[in-house]
């Protein structure tokens, strides 16, 4: 599922891939449902390609989101990413991914993760694990 969910640099929120056109993609916002084209000049990243740094190997974003879902009971997070202090964000992330790399994961990364998790949950997307065909 995360292969079809996109983050676009410079645009807030997350987007679902709807269609492909000539030199563009048609995406739909998960926040308000509005559709728009994106072009080759836009930096677009599928959530399936994102991972978080740990002290050992990098952990795929779907695993981090799954851990956050277990912690929060598949409900929006108990912490407000915009108002929380850096210490509160790090304490929350300690519970989600205990072995995270404190030198390479910044509070802004944790805020972005919380925002993405809340957008996905509010959009009804709570199964973060890749499907069999996606894993291959």
Domain limits of the chain? 5-47, 50-135
CATH of domain 5-47: 2.30.30.730
**CA pair distance 64, 17, nearest whole angstrom:** 22
The pLDDT of residue 131 is 73
Bridge partners of 115, per DSSP, are none
Topology alike, domains 5-47 and 50-135: no
Q: Which CATH number fits domain 50-135: 2.60.40.10, 3.30.420.40, 1.10.3720.10, 1.10.10.1650?
A: 1.10.10.1650
Is 47's pLDDT higher than 60? Answer: yes
- Give tens-digit pLDDT for 60-107: 999 999 999 999 999 999 899 899 999 999 999 999 999 999 999 999
Q: What is the pTM of this model?
A: 0.89
| CB burial string 79-111: b at 16+ within 10 A, e below | bebeebeeeebeebbeebbeebeeeebebeebb
Please state, in angstroms and rounded to a whole number, the distance separating the CA atoms of residues 56 and 45: 24
């Amino acid at each position: 599922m995360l292969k079809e969910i996109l983050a676009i640099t410079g645009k807030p929120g997350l987007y679902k891939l709807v269609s492909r056109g000539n030199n563009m993609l048609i995406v739909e916002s998960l926040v308000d449902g509005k559709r728009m084209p994106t072009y080759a000049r836009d930096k677009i990243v599928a959530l399936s390609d994102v991972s978080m740094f740990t002290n050992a190997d990098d952990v795929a974003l779907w695993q981090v989101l799954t851990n956050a879902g277990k912690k929060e009971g598949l409900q929006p997070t108990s912490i407000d990413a915009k108002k929380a202090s850096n210490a509160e964000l790090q304490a929350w992330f300690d519970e989600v991914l205990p072995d995270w790399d404190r030198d390479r994961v910044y509070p802004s990364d944790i805020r972005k993760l919380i925002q993405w998790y809340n957008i996905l949950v509010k959009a009804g997307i709570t199964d973060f694990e890749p499907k069999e065909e996606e894993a291959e």
